[in-house]
Amino acid sequence: MNKKLIIGIALIAVFVVFGFLNFRKALTPYVSYREARSGGNVQVMGTLVQGSINYVTGEQTLYFIMKERDVNDTMTVAYRGRRPINFEEATSIVAIGSFDGHVFQARKLLVKCPSKYQGTVTQREFEGGK
Amino acid sequence: MAFGGYVIWVALLCEILSLLYYSINQKQLAQYSYIATTILGTVATIQLFYFFIVKDFSVEYVAAFCSRDLSLFYSISAFWAGQQGSFLLWLFFALIMGIFLFTIDERWKREVMIFYNVQVLALIILLLKQNPFNLSTLVPPDGTGLNPLLINPWMAIHPPMMFLGYAAYGVMFAFIIAALWKKDISTWVDVSIRWIVFAWLTLGIGIILGGYWAYETLGWGGYWGWDPVENASFIPWLFGTALLHGLAIQRIYKGFYRSNALLAIFSFLFIIYGTFLTRSGVLADFSVHSFVDLGITAWLVGILLIFLAGSIALYWLRRDIFPKGEPIKGLLRPPTLLAISVILLVLSGLVVAVGTSAPLITRIWSKPAQVDIPFYVNTQIPIYIVLLLVFTIFAYRKKFLPFVIVGSILVPAISYSLGVHNAVHLVLIALCTSTLVSQLGNKRAFFILIHSGVALFILGSIYATGYDKQVKLTLQQDMPVKVDDKYTITFRSFAPPSPQEKPVATLEVNDGRKTYVVKPKLWFNQKSNQLVANPHIRIHFAMDEYYVVHQYKPAVQPSGLLVMRKGETKDLGDVRLSFLGFKLDQSHMGNAGMMVRAVLAVDGDKGKLVMPAYELLPGGVVNKPEVDIPGHNAKVKLEAMDATTGTIHLNVISAQGVAQKATAVVEFTRVPLISIVWIGSILQILGCTVSLMFRHKKRVKATIQESSPQKEDKKKRRG
């Protein structure tokens, strides 16, 4: 019984460590643009700079400039994948990804559009293509 | 506030009375008060339904989720589209379920009803904090309307299922707390097991309906995104699953008494916790869904803390009543395997809980952060590898060993040849197969159904989410595009099939054998200011074809000259003109000039005429005015005419720039074997239903036989 218990606890402990490491790895903290530029898997929030949207069909990549809230800082974001619907009207954008030295490569976008609904689609999520 | 709002206040009073009467053991009066609460709750529910059916926009909540153009069916389902209505629905289910609780064993009724009433009370308080019966100060002429994504039959039944499950989890909680209170930790299971299975079943159905809806409506080709809202119901489901396995140990092998009590408590606490996560706005910046905080956050936290502190304190006070339990022996014997399953399922639930709570946890030491999907996937995989192994061993019979071995080599080998090269995926596929094949040795129908359902679900998920192929195509009208040398897709048109319907893109697809038409929708919802893309799915067993149209650009009309004789019809771009004849304008007769009009029918429709004029003014001046072509963004001018040959020269002038064909941006995804995911889900539901009926039969038998249960109880407690 005791032997079994010890093995069990050991296995669970290994799993907890494994889970913790995965947790650390998958964590994407909200950071300022300045912090984002120092690299790492992060998420940044901001507003769309009007007229900055550029969809490059050949690369199937959406480029746009985001402005940090309450801070005078902007960042170019590249997003490979489907162009979010109603992107121009976004009141707030969350980009999840990492800075590659030139632009912020977003893997995922969370777009909030003005909507009268309190329900599910005040925000929409977009996952980068494979 | 409308009538229903006051009704809820009266319901609150009746509910408090019921609670008080039960506390002082006035069962009859308590029961009457409870029935009164239920009637009042039902009246409020019916009234809200009524407001939705007659579209009474003076009620704020109705105006927010209903509109004049909404069909009756969806007007009814708009009831639970928002937070206030869903709480009322939850309360309604909870109240009705409480009526069924009157039928339970007399020895349990009082305590169970007390702790059940506490929950109902909490629900009523929450409902009063966000009353769906508030009236608007200014009655809008039309409501905002239902979120277009919710206009879907699956979404109409998904929330009721969820809330039915939530309410049933409440029954389970009332039972375990009553058991702790009464210091009877053995017999509570026999009285409540059907409730627990029912709770687990309804929540499971609710989750699967939500997944199917996401796949069918949202157009991203998936069914599960590890979003907080999804996780919030998945965690209690996993705990409920663990509890059911734990209860099997308790009932058959006399063990796990403590764990089961804790599992039952936490399954329900996770329902409240999930409600808190998704209804309070704490995850507003982290979720696609996230309900806006309607000012109940503090109440939810308070209720959660009261239930948490109360149940843990009671558990602590009763820590000595638990029977010691018999030691679980043998590594590969059923009790050990069940125990391992419980531990794995709890781990699985906890991992999801930690991941979902990441923004709250990380807030403690740094900025709030969420975890990505890989966290969930990476941590769940080892758990399910062991779990599938346990499934296989559990059903293992020696005579089926060859089949198991052959199957779990063959299926991964075939998968490998079809492109599955990921080692972890292959291991999972092998284990799913071994689980499936080993079910041959299982005796109980519901075990076979549920366990093979889980195996099929995991198997399907691996193929469907790991090996789907997605291409994004920019299609020009009538220009076929080849995909992977197999499919030829031609974009034909983009228009509403009828004026009342939503616009669809008509795509002609040839898969190498036959040609068929698919019609994904893309439409703009005026009310919500959103573009909505509903996919068209061609469902096949082996591979779903999933078409979504993301963008449509109408053709730019070309300009050009058309030379036509009387009776001829010619096309230029989208414009089709038929030259019917000349018309001499009489009003100019007698003057020095003259005016002739060419009578043209547009798009072959003689009711849609355009008549450009050719006016000869005195002094040889010619006036050739440009006329709008009805239904097109273009004008036409009668450039020249020859009366003798009956020929006209028409100049079609486009109002836009460079001529261009209409284009549609289409996403074409092939989702392999997602059918297995649904089949697996249905098998699980079936298995669970079978077990529910089986238990019911057994119970009926037990009541008929009337074997003095009290004596048995005592024996159990001593043993």
Q: What is the pLDDT of residues B659-682, one digit of tens each?
A: 678 888 888 989 999 999 999 999
A:B CB pairs within 8 Å: 125
**Phi/psi at B563 (nearest 5 deg)?**
-105, 125
Residues A20 and A52 grouped into a single domain:
no
**Chain A hits for B531, Cβ within 8 Å:** 85-86
pLDDT at A57: 63
Asked if residues B148 and B49 have their Cβ atoms less than 8 Å apart, the reply is no
Q: Say yes or no: A37 and A17 in one domain.
A: no
**pLDDT value of position B701:** 58
Q: Let me know whether A41 and A98 are in one domain.
A: yes
Rounded to the nearest 10°, the torsion over CA B477, B482, B486, B487 is: -20
Do A66 and A5 sit in the same domain of this protein? no
Contact yes or no for A73/A34 (Cβ under 8 A)? yes
Q: What angle do CA B46, B50, B56 make, to 5 degrees?
A: 140
Q: How far is CA A54 from CA A72, A91, B137, B701, in A?
A: 22, 18, 44, 72
Of A26, A29, A118, the CB nearest to B292: A118
Place of tokens 């809820």: B8
For residues A98 and A85, membership in a common domain is answered with yes
Residues A44, A15 share a domain: no
Of B573-587, B606-620, B673-687, B695-709, which gets the smallest average pLDDT?
B695-709
Q: Based on the structure, what is the number of domains in chain A?
A: 2
B97 token code pair = 């379920």
Contact yes or no for B613/B596 (Cβ under 8 A): yes
State whether A84 and A58 are in the same domain. yes
> Are B477 and B682 in contact, with CB atoms under 8 Å apart?
no
**Residue A128 backbone class (left: φ over 0; alpha: ψ -120 to 50; beta: rest):** beta
Q: Do both A24 and A38 map to the same domain?
A: no
Domain that holds residue A14: 1-28
In the prediction, which pLDDT does B48 show?
94
Q: Judge if A35 and A91 occupy the same domain.
A: yes
**A57/chain B closest Cα distance in angstroms:** 9
pLDDT for residue B118 is more than 90: yes
Residues A43 and A69 in one domain: yes
Q: B539 in helix, strand or coil?
A: coil
> Which residues in A lie closer than 8 A to residue B331 (C-beta atoms)?
4
CB contact (8 A) between residue A118 and residue B354: no
Q: Check pLDDT > 60 for residue A116.
A: no
Q: Does residue A118 share a domain with residue A59? A: yes
**Residue carrying the six token digits 């069914």:** B223
The residues spanned by each domain of chain B are 1-148, 152-236+245-329, 470-550, 560-654
Helix (H/G/I), strand (E/B), else coil: A31: coil
**How high is the pLDDT of residue B405?**
87
How confident is the model over B472-496, as pLDDT tens digits? 888 888 888 888 888 999 998 888 8
Question: Do the Cβ atoms of B455 and B434 come closer than 8 Å?
Answer: no
Query: CB contact, 8 Å: B362 with chain A?
Result: yes
Task: Tell me whether A91 touches chain B (CB under 8 Å).
Answer: no
Q: Is some CB atom of chain A closer than 8 A to the CB atom of B606? A: no
Structure tokens at B696: 């019911």
- Per-residue confidence (pLDDT) for residue A129, from 0 to 100: 37
- Contact list, B474 vs chain A (CB under 8 Å): 57
Cβ contact (<8 Å) for B531 and A85? yes
Task: For residues A44 and A15, state if they share a domain.
Answer: no
- List the 3-22 stretch of A: residues with Cβ below 8 A of B: 4, 8, 12, 15, 18-19, 22
What pLDDT does B635 receive?
Answer: 85
pLDDT of residue B699: 59
Contact B291 A19 (CB under 8 A): no
User: Domain with A83 in it: what CATH number?
Assistant: 2.40.50.140
Strand partners, A123: A112
What is the ipTM metric for this complex? Answer: 0.73
Q: What is the 3-state secondary structure (H, E, C) of B108-130?
A: HHHHHHHHHHHHHHHHHHHHHHC
